[in-house]
Structure 1
Amino acid sequence: MPTATDPKLISGNANRTLANAIARRMSMHRGMNVGLVDARVERFNDGEIFVEVYENVRGEDMFIIQPTSNPANDNLMELLIMTDALRRSSAGRITAVIPYFGYARQDRRTKARTPISAKLVANMMVEAGIERILTMDLHATQIQGFFDIPVDNLYASPVFALDIMHHFKGQMDDIMVVSPDVGGVARARELAKRINAPLSIVDKRREKPGEIAEMTVIGDVTGKKCIIVDDLCDTAGTLCKAAENLLQHGAAEVHAYITHGVLSGPAVERVTNSVMKSLVITDSIEATQAVRDCPNIRIVPTAPLFAQAIINTWNGTSVSSLFDDDTLGPLYEGLYTQY
């Protein structure tokens, strides 16, 4: 049943651009102005984070929009402190909208005497007073089980499918979806099914973190327009090497669709100089100026998806319905032509 109050959005400093875009989309959907709650999130001289909310939020259904991207620790603390401020201000329900969930790669113990940091972060969020999580493309889906509260994990593959069918119209018979490793096969298969394309796998073997010793292409990519699909791209070393490997095995050209463009260190330079025709990312992480200026990086918006997910969460309707093309297509009408 719908709640008595309207949903209210508040944002930290991690991705204000996306937060404003979500507010605009919600205004379009609801036919009334939806803005961000007036608040300040700032730092004292010693680095401590301070939050002050200027509006009354008593009994309100609050949605905090805050990806925990770089700087991960600062953005995480902003989220926790905003949650505490809202909880102590008697907010009715607090939902954390985390487009990119930091620490997700530390979801298991890979060696002795190492932490499971994703679980620790989940505990901190729950203890702070967050009652629901809305995120996108978790690095490992089992992270949902780290929380003792509801977690809605959205997927970028339906949006990517719309983008691919638009930009490769008339060339779909030449498309080959590629998983950059064995662990990402399920994600790549999901996209391949949506666009009715075959699937290939790049099997990689690492000598140590960040360095790849060997790559093997499983499947015939000869003459294909290969689309590498993954959840995140950090330094882009693996991605660029996979693209080179695919071309060596006869691929006509290589593109990449990555949900979270972490793109740290030499990533942008590597992508600029790589053999990839294009790298498509979402705006889950605030793009740096270097990313925006890169000629072969393109950003697709997630605001329509998150705006509708927030509305559905608020009024108690299905969030999983957004995984269907018939539901998602109209949200992106105007961005992509009808097929």
Structure 2
Amino acid sequence: MMMLYLVKDPLYRSIRYRVFIDNGFRPVKVEYKEFPDGETYVRFIDDIDPSGAYIVLSRGYPEQDKNIFRTILIVRTLRDLGAKKIILCIPYLPYSRQDKRFLPREAVSAKILGECLISMGADYILTIDVHNPSIFEFLGNKFVNIQTTDLWAKFISKICESKTCGLISPDIGRKSLVHMIANKCGIDMVSFIKIRDLSTGRIVRHQPEDSEQFSKFIMGKEVIFIIDDILATGGTISNISRTIRDYGFNGEIITCFTHCLMLRDAYDRLINAGVNRIICTDTVENPFIHDDVFVGPYILEALRTLI
């Protein structure tokens, strides 16, 4: 049987990685430091088992650029030292939102990063709720995106056992995933759409996909969940929450995010817009990690199909 090893980024403190140790992964010690000029040094303290499978748990945020280069050093060194199989797990994959050329001659950073990590020696890239999985289709089965449908369905179902609930997708791109969660929970869902300025392409507002349906949707609801992949500045969700309140909803608004970057005044924007609770997973370090939405078990489940 292939021995399983866990190489945790020395700066990754978010995911409760103990779940991997409890399931048979042997931790590998890595020495890391920065030189006075800011350059990175990485060295493996333990010998590398050439017949083993190595899971590299990499930090995606903050300090994305440093994280990526440190990950490259770890993965490439593992390959140079003879590791047979390397699975790179980056729960929050940085640069994934630049998934197309919005303007001529732009770098498509999501695709470039995927190519780079595979070329450095990773056999697989495993991530969670990536912004647009289709951009990585060129990698075939080397790219694995874990959807959080089951995670959120379990969390929401507990709350909705005793309350009347509804789910909202913040845009059409997220609609299919929120629809799956709603089906698992057996509750209603609706979607919002983005309205753009036709001359600049900038988003000017968010509105219900169907206003009449939305008015009926909020009637009798006690809790409304807004589910999104990334919380950055909170602009989108605060606009949607404010619209929900404008339609006369007086119940609880709970926002659910896979990746909570919580930039600038995101918290204040959400609370001032009428959000009651912010729930986040542990893919990145944040103050709103909830005990019932840890991603470790879902990563383990995906790893079993790759080893």
Judging changes above 3 Å, is the alpha-carbon distance between structure 1 residues 36 and 279 closer, same or farther for their aligned structure 2 residues?
same
After superposition, the C-alpha distances for 1:198-257 in whole angstroms (9 at most, x for unaligned) are 121122224599975223223322332221111111001111121111121133332111
Conserved in 1, the CA contact under 8 Å of 2:111 and 2:136?
A: no
Tell me whether 1:143 sits opposite 2:143 in the alignment. no
Q: Quick one: distance in 1 between partners of 2:203 and 2:108?
A: 24
Q: Quick one: distance in 1 between partners of 2:258 and 2:201?
A: 20
Q: Quick one: distance in 2 between partners of 1:269 and 1:197?
A: 29
Structure 1 residue matching 2:60: 3-state secondary structure: coil
Conserved in 1, the CA contact under 8 Å of 2:195 and 2:206?
A: yes
Tell me whether 1:253 sits opposite 2:247 in the alignment. no
Conserved in 2, the CA contact under 8 Å of 1:67 and 1:102?
A: no
Q: Quick one: distance in 1 between partners of 2:23 and 2:194?
A: 44
Judging changes above 3 Å, is the alpha-carbon distance between structure 1 residues 298 and 26 closer, same or farther for their aligned structure 2 residues?
closer
1:238-317 → structure 2 map (5 Å cutoff): 238-251=236-249, 252-287=251-286, 291-292=287-288, 298=290, 300-314=293-307
Tell me whether 1:81 sits opposite 2:80 in the alignment. no
1:101-116 → structure 2 map (5 Å cutoff): 101-116=93-108
Match of 1:10 among 7, 16, 23: 7
153-162 or 141-150: which moved more? 141-150
| Aligned residue type for 1:195 | C
Structure 2 counterpart of 1:196? 186
Residue ranges of structure 2 left out of the alignment (5+ in a row): none
Conserved in 2, the CA contact under 8 Å of 1:8 and 1:61?
A: yes
Cα deviation, residue 307, structure 1: 2.7
User: If the length of structure 1 is used for normalisation, what is the TM-score?
Assistant: 0.81
Structure 1 counterpart of 2:82? 90
Structure 1 counterpart of 2:149? 157
Cα deviation, residue 164, structure 1: 0.9
User: Once superposed, what is the RMSD of the aligned Cα atoms?
Assistant: 2.2
Judging changes above 3 Å, is the alpha-carbon distance between structure 1 residues 153 and 124 closer, same or farther for their aligned structure 2 residues?
same
| Aligned residue type for 1:38 | K
Q: Quick one: distance in 2 between partners of 1:146 and 1:281?
A: 30
User: If the length of structure 2 is used for normalisation, what is the TM-score?
Assistant: 0.89
Judging changes above 3 Å, is the alpha-carbon distance between structure 1 residues 168 and 15 closer, same or farther for their aligned structure 2 residues?
farther
Structure 2 counterpart of 1:179? 169
109-118 or 96-105: which moved more? 109-118
Structure 2 counterpart of 1:325? none
Cα deviation, residue 149, structure 1: 5.5
Q: Quick one: distance in 2 between partners of 1:210 and 1:170?
A: 43
Residue ranges of structure 1 left out of the alignment (5+ in a row): 315-339
After superposition, the C-alpha distances for 1:143-201 in whole angstroms (9 at most, x for unaligned) are 33142552221111201111111123221xx2111111122111211111111111211
Structure 2 residue matching 1:147: 3-state secondary structure: helix
| Aligned residue type for 1:180 | P
Q: Quick one: distance in 1 between partners of 2:145 and 2:285?
A: 20
Conserved in 2, the CA contact under 8 Å of 1:278 and 1:298?
A: no
Judging changes above 3 Å, is the alpha-carbon distance between structure 1 residues 146 and 44 closer, same or farther for their aligned structure 2 residues?
farther
Q: How many residues matched?
A: 296
Q: Quick one: distance in 2 between partners of 1:161 and 1:14?
A: 31
Structure 1 counterpart of 2:232? 234
Conserved in 2, the CA contact under 8 Å of 1:96 and 1:133?
A: yes
Q: Quick one: distance in 1 between partners of 2:298 and 2:234?
A: 26
| Aligned residue type for 1:283 | D
Q: Quick one: distance in 1 between partners of 2:270 and 2:67?
A: 26
Structure 1 residue matching 2:66: 3-state secondary structure: helix
Cα deviation, residue 262, structure 1: 1.5
Structure 2 residue matching 1:183: 3-state secondary structure: helix
Conserved in 2, the CA contact under 8 Å of 1:222 and 1:249?
A: no
